[in-house]
Amino acid sequence: LDGLNASQIKEIREKSEKFAFQAEVNRMMKLIINSLYKNKEIFLRELISNASDALDKIRLISLTDENALSGNEELTVKIKCDKEKNMLHVTDTGIGMTKEELIKNLGTIAKSGTSEFLNKMTEMQDDSQSTSELIGQFGVGFYSAFLVADRVIVTSKHNNDTQHIWESDSNEFSVIDDPRGNTLGRGTTI
């Protein structure tokens, strides 16, 4: 949360709307965190893949909507390491997410996909197979960020909404309007 001091961060956390993860999501995250622990680097591949997908989506929309790129015409993925704060930022100028999409896409997962993922992962573990390739196949790759982070913060700006901050400690998540306003133009920073 670049640009905010500790008291501002505390204040937005207190004001943010809190949500509980669905039970299946909680179970799945614990499995991911515990089962893929030896393959921590998988998280970066998944976050870059998601960023690339977001660029593809806005690029496709721009073919039929001439204003789609007006917030930011540059289509990029940038990775920034802040050693002092022990943080890694993955930023894209893709489609971004609305508040509702942050809640839906990051806070819930289709039950059928989650169940299928959990069943396949358990099956592969029972057979002592590597589960590292499995994570990207079920749309749960974002959650691999919890392999290396106790807290994940997502800032996102979609053309049809204001900029929001989604934050989670893997037990619950919160969403709030970004008090800094529109700093992204369009896109997402994780």
Structural domain contains residue 36: yes
CA distance linking residue 47 with residue 35, whole number of Å: 19
Tokens of 134: 């499995």
Highest averaged pLDDT of the listed ranges 27-41, 114-128, 150-164: 150-164
CA distance linking residue 164 with residue 185, whole number of Å: 12
Structural domain contains residue 137: yes
Residue 78's pLDDT band (cuts 50, 70, 90): very high
Structural domain contains residue 1: no
Question: In terms of residue numbers, what domain contains 68?
Answer: 6-189
Given this model, what pLDDT does residue 39 score? 72
Tokens of 56: 């593809």
* Domain containing residue 65: CATH number: 3.30.565.10
Judged against a pLDDT cut of 90, whether residue 163 lies above it is answered with yes
Structural domain contains residue 153: yes
- Indicate the DSSP class of residue 16: S
Q: What mean pLDDT comes out for the span 129-135?
A: 53
